[in-house]
Structure 1
Amino acid sequence: MRLASLIGHCSEAVAAIAADERPADNVINYFFRSRKYLGARDRAFIAETVYHVLRHRRRLEWLAGQYFAAQGLPAPHAEALFPSLVALALMEEADEESHAQELAAAVTERAEIPGAQRFVPSARDFLQRTDTLNWPPDPVARLAIEFSLPDWLAPRIVDMLGLDEARRLASVFNQPAPVILRVNPMKAPREAVQSALAAEGFECDPTPLSPFGLRLRERSNAFTSETFKRGWFEIQDEASQIVSLCVDPRPGARVLDACAGGGGKTLHLSALMKGRGEIIALDIYKRRLDSLRDRARRDDCQNIRVRLIGAEDSPAAELVGKMQYVLIDAPCTGLGVLRRNPDARWKVTPDSARELALKQRALLDRYAACVAPGGRLVYATCSILREENEDVIEGFRAGHPEFAPADLAGILSRYGLAHLPAPGAHTLRLWPHIHGADGFFIAALHRKG
């Protein structure tokens, strides 16, 4: 497909994602399914360009405004905004003069872009002088623009981490996440999975944190491998794997996964239990549980029982006080996984974060009743916000004196990870810029008695 047409397709995809509440990957998958004429190379080009725009959208919009004002051109109207952002994104990626010339020829065909005839050469020169632009004098305001963060989120990150570390985190958030696999030890050890994948052309290396993880050296569709079809691994980030290690269920135990979703952590828990005992996996979405059933069959996880529940349902009577381990992987803002879902930053507001925190606390209150005396309760989110994490746990503990902090270092010592939490701590934060994993919060409590 000609580059001018690809720019149009990229612009349509960005506009579709901006107008849809669903995650970007869902929207772009539908975009491709409805355009079956696109070949594999065209789809790859569109996806890569669209995700670059999503990661850097606010900065690109600001640069576009500065550029058009400097050129004495009107700001692009709605139909021209996204093509302008796509063109700027492609200019940032154009590492050779020949690429820039090809892009210039393509952009001249996009008449909706103001000054299209001279857009590429003049904008390319403009992008080389960004340090001289009129950035906001406030360093937090500049951070928000430079790293494409909402105005409300940037100061919260700075308050937590300080300006310099906040910039490092924001920079990592705008980089693509690696593809991390979790081996299924019931099928094969990590070394065998690594060798089998290499034989199929998927080179990977052991992950530094999870003893069950492998990191692909290059982004590729490992789902097509025979190794995957045999149930030898799942796609799962290291931070998500560590959540299951904090639960650390023993074979033969009874486990409740109260917010199972598609079942990534459920399957890992089953593997840690060597398929023995029982896992009750709950969720409010049937399609997610159907996916979990399929994945469990492939992975030979036979101790998982799925149950569809209502959003406000109380736990079934036979679960109350009977479960040795309860995991609440709570629905959250997802602000710790912006590498994977870059558009999420624009779909979360302070109000929606507060509403989620109330739901998270309600889930804890509801399912804590299922923990047996002496049992373990683990709460996790993929959010970086304190109000979804420490505040929720502190509020819960204030109202539930029957729960005491668990020693996460002691729990994780079985996996060589005692260094991750502070000594004696019952909470753990994982950061993309520090640990190379998704941003996660984990808390572990035990029920007295």
Structure 2
Amino acid sequence: MSAGSGADRRGPHVQPSGGNGPGAAGAKQAGGGKDKSTAGKNHRPGGAGKPAAGSAREVALDVLVRVEQQGAYSNLLLSSSLQKSALSREDAGLVTELVYGSISRMITLDYVLGGFVSKGLARLAPWVRSLLRLSLYQLMYLDRVPSHAAVNEAVNIAKKRGHQGISGMVNGVLRSVLRAGELPVLPESLGREERISVLHSHPLWMVRRWAAEYGVEAAEAICAANNEPPASSVRVNAAMISRDALLAQMLEAGLEASASLVSPYGIVVKGGGNLALTSWYREGCLSVQDESSMLVAEAVAPEPGMRVLDCCAAPGGKSAHMGELMKDEGWIYANDLHAHKAQLVADQAQRLGLGCIATGSHDALRLARVLEPESFDRILLDAPCSGLGVIRRKPDLKWRKQPEDVASVAALQAELLQSVSGLLKPGGVLVYSTCTTEQAENSRIIAEFLKNNPGFASVSFSSPVWKRLEGTALAEGEGIQLLPQHFGSDGFYIARLQRLL
């Protein structure tokens, strides 16, 4: 999902004040704003929390309120709201920018607003709080139309949804922000990690965790990268068309496209819209997939004729990629706990013309009971994880996750890895992957497994994947760690383990 609004995200950010936002850095102060903004378009009322209707900012406001009040997932709600709206492509892009930007920068926005809202943000109605956030986001981070337009739009929405007092308060707060200058202004007493939390709008526990694992500089780089708009990338189906040929077609069609530096099967596209709506997608020439995710099937390195197990396969991108690499020769058993998710894998295989993929629905912890021991040449365990490597795409993760979530999922990962390892043939390869930055879920899982299973050895650093990424990605324990700032792709961990003869 990309911002798509044509406006630039820029500048600093803040922390939730008054306890109504997720995770605070622990400082309070007055802030200020920029005098440039993305700004205002037409609008129409539609009560807060009701299905999206009206202008771009009203649609964004409704989504933000429902995310905060109902715990809705921003990506799913945003998609459905845009489908119901009659907004132009430009305005739909603005809605996307406002929703993801306001959620991603919530600590910073609330920190600044806390210095201007005398009664405190926590005492405001949810729709008023969200209106102030999305309006301040425009003033601080977007540079497309005059600031007064964003302020006027916010005031008009407040008048239609509330009363004169609310519109007056919204007007006063935003105009005070404009007069204040650069924001946020941080007290000298803030420590380095607290400053990162406020400026880059991440819960303090995440900043401290990453600083402990990677160093303070890398922690700040992770946070900054998480606030950047995600790239749009596709994986070429090499069984149907070469990357060079598809890239040439895209360039001829006027798309701004380039070959991925991360994956030899990837193409990065800027401003191309939803590529899943193109004939290339319908005809099976490409799949939409993050560049880091493309590395997983390459690390598995399945060959034609092999038997391959994908333990947690949905939605099917990695299974499909393995089928393409195998030239549709052999057998892939793509398993998922939920039958409707396994169907997503089957749908992908059908679209791509892959007959080698069979799907099933089992608890991955029970696969060792339903499948023959030592019967697979390759196994992929793309394990359930905290997902902290994909915050750029799913900013609500910053506010949904807690430190204890990492510990609980790590216990499951270790159990899954031990359980499925017995299904691998001697000489076979098992790939363990996650889309997280947390070493409790990554290198520590692998270290413990290798300690308890001397019949396995790491071969992560003899793969073409490592040879391509070495010098940028990190060698964490016995696996490869990509961080969001390394290539502008998702944070991912990949460990390649071989069962000894």
- Using the size of structure 1 for normalisation, the TM-score is 0.91
| Residue 99, structure 1, aligned to residue 146, structure 2 | yes
Which residue of 74, 79, 83 corresponds with 1:29? 79
Residue 46 of structure 1 is aligned with which of 95, 112, 116?
A: 95
Give the 3 Å change call, closer, same or farther, for CA 32–266 of structure 1 in structure 2. Answer: same
Bigger helix share: 1
Q: Does 1:108 align with 2:161?
A: no
Q: Does 1:197 align with 2:197?
A: no
Give the alignment partner of residue 444 of structure 2, picking from 391, 398, 412: 391
Deviations 1:214-256 (A, max 9, x none): 0003251112221121100111111111111111111111110
For 1:121, which of 149, 168, 175 is the aligned residue? 175
Match of 2:109 in 1: 60
* Residue of 481, 485, 488 corresponding to 1:433: 485
Which one-letter code corresponds to 1:14 in the other structure? L
Contact 2:311 2:364 in 1 (8 A): no
The whole-number CA distance in structure 2 between the counterparts of 1:113 and 1:366 is 59
> Residue type of the partner of 1:81?
R
Letter in 1 for 2:281: F
* Alignment partners' CA distance in 1, 2:420 and 2:70: 32
Preserved contact between residue 83 and residue 113 of structure 1 (Cα < 8 Å): no
Instruction: Tell me, in whole angstroms, the C-alpha distance in 1 between the residues paired with 2:500 and 2:222.
Output: 38
Q: Which amino acid aligns with 2:133?
A: L
Q: 1:85 aligns with which of 133, 142, 148?
A: 133
**How far apart in 2 are the matches of 1:403 and 1:362?**
16
The residue aligned with 2:36 is none
* Alignment match, 1:354: 407
The 1:280/1:171 distance shift into structure 2, 3 A limit, reads same
The TM-score normalised by the length of structure 2 is 0.82
Shift in CA distance, 392/118, structure 1 to aligned 2, threshold 3 Å: same
Alpha-carbon shift at residue 261 of structure 1 (Å): 1.0
Q: Quick check: 1:18 aligned with 2:68?
A: yes
The Cα of 1:446 is off from its aligned counterpart by 0.9
2:59 corresponds in structure 1 to 9
Q: CA deviation at 1:295?
A: 1.5
Compute the displacement of 1:130 (Å): 2.3
Decide whether the 8 Å contact of 2:234 with 2:287 is kept in 1: yes
Distance 1:274 1:247 in 2: 15
Aligned to 2:394: 341
**Structure 1 residue 425 displacement after superposition:** 7.2
Correspondence for 2:6: none
Cα deviation 1:114-160 (Å, max 9, x = unaligned): 6223333321232x332644365111112112111112111011112
The equivalent of 1:313 in structure 2 is: 366
Equivalent-residue separation in structure 2 for 1:242 and 1:195 (angstroms): 23
Identity %: 25
Q: Which amino acid in structure 2 is aligned with residue 441 of structure 1?
A: Y
Structure 2 CA distance for partners of 1:369 and 1:22, relative to 1, 3 Å: farther
The correspondence for 2:329, drawn from 276, 279, 289, is 276
- Over 3 Å counting, the alpha-carbon distance change for 1:65 and 1:114 in structure 2 is farther
Partner Cα separation in structure 1 for residue 252 and residue 129 of structure 2: 46
Q: Distance in 2 between matches of 1:309 and 1:20?
A: 31
Contact 2:323 2:354 (8 Å CA) reproduced:
yes
For residues 74 and 344 of structure 1, the distance between their equivalents in structure 2, rounded to whole angstroms, comes to: 25
For residue 176 of structure 1, give the secondary structure of its aligned residue in structure 2: coil
1:226-375 to 2 correspondences below 5 Å? 226-310=279-363, 312-375=365-428
- How much is the aligned-residue C-alpha RMSD, in angstroms? 2.4
Unaligned runs of 5+ in 1: none
Structure number with higher relative contact order (C-alpha < 8 Å, ≥ 6 residues apart): 2
